[in-house]
Structure 1
Amino acid sequence: MTVPWIDRLRMAAPDTPLALVTVLATEGSAPRGAGTRMVVDHAVSVDTIGGGVLEHQAIEQARAILAHPPGNWRIQDYPLGPLLGQCCGGRVRLLIERVDPAALDWIDAAANGTTLTTTLHPAGIARARDPMAAILPLSAHGERPGVGATWSERLGREQRPLYLFGAGHVGRAIARRVGGLPLRLAWFDSRPDLAEMPGVTVVDADRLPACLSDAPDEAAVVILTHDHGLDYALTKAALLRPPLAYVGLIGSATKRARFLSRLTREAVPADARARLTCPIGLAAIPGKEPEVIALSVLAQLLSLGQAEAAATSEYP
């Protein structure tokens, strides 16, 4: 598979000013995931980090850095709230760099599933292919990385978006184990007291179902909030939109029957109701402890197979 931003870097003349924009980290609902990249020159941009106002501002910043020598870089944080026309209050952290044509050996690893370790230096960015390096995910919440910061990513690996609703015991157990898996977490709750929990985006309960409108079709949705009424609203919203790869609802067979009965009364089509997975997790992994449920659910999500949208792979 050809990747537009990689092709642009490979074909560029050494004296052509180029900027590379990389999504370092996301939290909540974000247009693209960590590892997404695009190349910008004075006239055009190649590839996309998700479009909209976020991309427009990133392109402006990228063109501004073209006036600086190769190797210059900066980190930009963007809260995806009303200012950028976003609904669900996520965050995106971007690395914007003036491309150094003498330091592009790493792009040859982009289609080989290699682990890439990146280190920020005062006058440039060092990247090294290291298949033994541990994946070091960054967070968009907290202190912005600076000189000396190091992280690793796995190139050539697709990530299925995971929309997780609920930050209780099971939600936390799932979130703790997503790192290193081919899943990109967007984690939501409606309780204001959880606003400071790393990784959680707090959204008013009546607005929470609207977050599903941004979910791509290959996304998996797991619903396990503290409130059955909110669970139902989220389940109905997930089933009424275009089909998702997975819609899972925590609960017993009794809860499933009650929800399906209500969905039937409210004229949710039979083919949509059939897409509901409840109870969640693999039947072969019994147990009600949060850690066991988390492992069972993640195993079920991994069994869905490769995410369908290969053309929008998070790590090309």
Structure 2
Amino acid sequence: MSFERDHLAGLVAAHGPVIRVVVAEVAGSAPREVGASVTVWAEGQDGTIGGGTLEYDAVATARAMLADGRDRATRAIALGPDMGQCCGGRVRLLWERFEAGTLPEDPVFCRPVADAAPSLKVQKIEARARAQGTAPAPALVDGWLVEPITTPPAPVWIWGAGHVGRALVGSLLPLPGLALTWVDTGPERFPETIPDGVTALPAPDIAAATRLAPPGAHHIVMTYSHAFDQAICDGLLARGFSSAGLIGSATKWARFRKRLQQMGHAPAEIDRIRCPIGDKGLGKHPAAIALGVAADIVRDVARAGESAAAGDEGDRDERRLSGD
């Protein structure tokens, strides 16, 4: 479990202020673990802390808090005596109000459940998260609830399941923070076993599949057909993308660039597609090409993250200047 900041931000954008109810502590048998949460707004809710009566009561409390303006509450609950549930354990719940300007920004969200200064242990958890990117498990530590903040994985679409495509999937699969979608014209193009964590998408009209990709995805185009490659590039330029690379030579790209411009795409947008890709110095073996391309993707994802972080910082500065 973790604190899904972007998901919570989406709920706030859609519904206004919300109350998030999180399981802060568990002793004995309980419906859910520490970090399980339900987010509540006036007309709905998202997520679950389980337990039937426990959740019903928690949601009712959250809606009362939305109505009366309270920002925070905590309660220790004995599931048997207090809720009439067969679980024999105890839980502590924490209710917290969130709005657009109050969402946490650090890689780990640490706050007191009761009045207590952060202990040395809590301070070390925060320092490790900032310096090393270490994500602690959700836990109540010396009176402070600690939750790692997660962001959605970066979508990476690989177009083509040939030798280089297969090598590229193998290179990217162990890397954290990526969501791999693998596209080709039919199921026979893929290996018999698709690795866990990879979404295979057979698409007879492969260019039309560009409409399924998120506009912020990263793409590598390497099909068995130049015509398919060009059609995919056309589709991506219409759809939008965070980054895109095309396998091929400078000659191939010069030809594609001219044709894409004739199809109505702006030169500046066309030039966002990188071709050739990889590192020629590594050689032409599929695994060597894949290593160079994987390095390109990692850099692209990092740049996109830095750009988004800079945008968030600018938004926060603007809110501070405007007094919001």
Residue by residue, what CA displacement relative to the aligned partner does 1:197-247 show, whole Å, maximum 9, x if unpaired? 3135233331x33333343343211111122221111111112223x2211
Q: How does 1:103-122 map to 2 (within 5 A)?
A: 108=110, 113-115=133-135
Q: Does the Cα contact within 8 Å between 2:20 and 2:37 map onto a contact in 1?
A: no
Unmatched 5+ residue regions in structure 1? 23-36, 47-58, 71-99, 118-126, 130-153
For residues 2 and 157 of structure 1, do their structure 2 counterparts lie closer, same or farther at Cα, with a shift above 3 Å needed? Answer: closer
Paired AA for residue 163 in structure 2? H
For residues 45 and 69 of structure 1, do their structure 2 counterparts lie closer, same or farther at Cα, with a shift above 3 Å needed? Answer: closer
Q: Report the counterpart of residue 179 of structure 2 in structure 1.
A: 184
For residues 10 and 215 of structure 1, do their structure 2 counterparts lie closer, same or farther at Cα, with a shift above 3 Å needed? Answer: same
Q: 1:223 aligns with which of 221, 224, 229?
A: 221
Q: What is the aligned length?
A: 214
Alpha-carbon distance, 1:294 to partner: 1.2
Following the alignment from structure 2 to structure 1, what is the Cα–Cα distance between the partners of residues 218 and 45?
Answer: 30
For residues 202 and 159 of structure 1, do their structure 2 counterparts lie closer, same or farther at Cα, with a shift above 3 Å needed? Answer: closer
Q: Report the counterpart of residue 67 of structure 1 in structure 2.
A: 52
Q: How does 1:196-235 map to 2 (within 5 A)?
A: 196-198=192-194, 199-206=198-205, 208-235=206-233
Q: Does the Cα contact within 8 Å between 1:239 and 1:247 map onto a contact in 2?
A: no
Q: Report the counterpart of residue 163 of structure 1 in structure 2.
A: 157
Q: Report the counterpart of residue 258 of structure 1 in structure 2.
A: 255
Following the alignment from structure 2 to structure 1, what is the Cα–Cα distance between the partners of residues 169 and 291?
Answer: 11
Residue by residue, what CA displacement relative to the aligned partner does 1:113-145 show, whole Å, maximum 9, x if unpaired? 33457xxxxxxxxx689xxxxxxxxxxxxxxxx
Q: Does the Cα contact within 8 Å between 1:223 and 1:248 map onto a contact in 2?
A: yes
Instruction: Give the number of the structure whose residues are more often helix, by fraction.
Output: 2
Q: How does 1:80-95 map to 2 (within 5 A)?
A: none
Q: Does the Cα contact within 8 Å between 2:25 and 2:139 map onto a contact in 1?
A: no
Residue by residue, what CA displacement relative to the aligned partner does 1:7-53 show, whole Å, maximum 9, x if unpaired? 72459999xx9989x9xxxxxxxxxxxxxx9735696235xxxxxxx
Following the alignment from structure 2 to structure 1, what is the Cα–Cα distance between the partners of residues 289 and 233?
Answer: 19
For residues 258 and 160 of structure 1, do their structure 2 counterparts lie closer, same or farther at Cα, with a shift above 3 Å needed? Answer: same
Q: Does the Cα contact within 8 Å between 1:160 and 1:182 map onto a contact in 2?
A: yes
Q: Report the counterpart of residue 44 of structure 1 in structure 2.
A: 44
For residues 10 and 200 of structure 1, do their structure 2 counterparts lie closer, same or farther at Cα, with a shift above 3 Å needed? Answer: closer
Percent of aligned pairs with the same amino acid: 29
Q: 1:299 aligns with which of 295, 299, 323?
A: 295
For residues 309 and 205 of structure 1, do their structure 2 counterparts lie closer, same or farther at Cα, with a shift above 3 Å needed? Answer: farther
Alpha-carbon distance, 1:267 to partner: 2.4
For residues 101 and 180 of structure 1, do their structure 2 counterparts lie closer, same or farther at Cα, with a shift above 3 Å needed? Answer: farther
Determine which structure has more spread, i.e. the larger CA radius of gyration.
2
Question: Where has structure 1 moved over 6 Å in runs of 4 or more?
Answer: 11-14, 17-20
Matched, 1:236 2:234: yes
Following the alignment from structure 1 to structure 2, what is the Cα–Cα distance between the partners of residues 128 and 196?
Answer: 41
Q: TM-score, normalised by structure 1?
A: 0.53
Following the alignment from structure 1 to structure 2, what is the Cα–Cα distance between the partners of residues 231 and 225?
Answer: 6
